[in-house]
Amino acid sequence: MEKQQVGKLIGLLDTEGVDKKLDGIMALLRKNLRMDVAFISEFTAGRRVFRHVEKMDPQSPIQEGGSDLLEQTYCQQLVDGDIPEVIRDVRDYPSLWNLEATRDLGIGSYVGVPLHLPNGDLYGTFCCYSAQPDQSLNERDLSFFRVIAAIAGGLIDQKIEHDHKAELIASGIQKITEENRLGIHLQPIWDLKRNQACGYEALSRFDTAPYRTPDVWFAEAEQAGLGEFLEMHALKMACECLEILPADCYLSLNTSPKHIISGALAKVLEGSDLARLVIEVTEHTSVTDYKELKKALVPLRQKGLRLAIDDAGSGYATFSHILELDPDIIKLDLSLCRNIHKEEKKFSLAKALLTYAGETGSLITAEGIEQHEELDVLIGLGIDMAQGYLLGKPMPSSELATFTEAHQSASSG
Q: Note the helical H segments in 71-207.
A: 74-80, 94-97, 100-105, 139-178
> Does a structural domain hold residue 169?
no
- Do 41 and 127 lie in one domain? The reply is yes
- Do 143 and 220 lie in one domain? The reply is no
- Do 134 and 204 lie in one domain? The reply is no
- Do 232 and 129 lie in one domain? The reply is no
Residues 350/337, Cβ–Cβ less than 8 Å: yes
pLDDT tens digits, one per residue of 264-292:
999 999 999 999 999 998 756 678 899 99
> Does a structural domain hold residue 37?
yes
> Does a structural domain hold residue 175?
no
Residues 330/312, Cβ–Cβ less than 8 Å: yes
Residue 11 clears pLDDT 80, i.e. is over it: no
- Do 304 and 390 lie in one domain? The reply is yes
CATH no. for residue 9?
3.30.450.40
- Do 72 and 107 lie in one domain? The reply is yes
> Does a structural domain hold residue 261?
yes
> Does a structural domain hold residue 173?
no
pTM higher than 0.85, yes or no? no
> Does a structural domain hold residue 363?
yes
CATH no. for residue 336?
3.20.20.450
- Do 191 and 53 lie in one domain? The reply is no
pLDDT tens digits, one per residue of 383-409:
999 999 999 999 998 888 777 766 665
- Do 141 and 184 lie in one domain? The reply is no
Name the percent of the chain lying above pLDDT 70.
93
- Do 75 and 126 lie in one domain? The reply is yes
| Domain count for the chain | 2
> Does a structural domain hold residue 406?
yes
- Do 196 and 138 lie in one domain? The reply is no
pLDDT tens digits, one per residue of 337-362:
999 999 999 999 999 999 999 999 99
How many residues does this entry show for the chain? 413
Residues 191/198, Cβ–Cβ less than 8 Å: yes
CA distances from 253 to 210, 277, 281 (A): 26, 7, 9
End-to-end distance of the chain based on CA atoms, in angstroms? 84
Three-state SS sequence of 28-90: HHHHHHCCCEEEEEEEECCEEEEEEEEECCCCCCCCCCCEEEHHHCHHHHHHHCCCCCEECCH
CA pair distance 79, 405, nearest whole angstrom: 75
Q: Which domain holds residue 35?
A: 3-157
Residue 174's CB is within 10 A of a number of other CB atoms, namely 12
Report whether the peptide linkage leading into residue 257 is cis, meaning its omega lies within 30 degrees of zero.
no
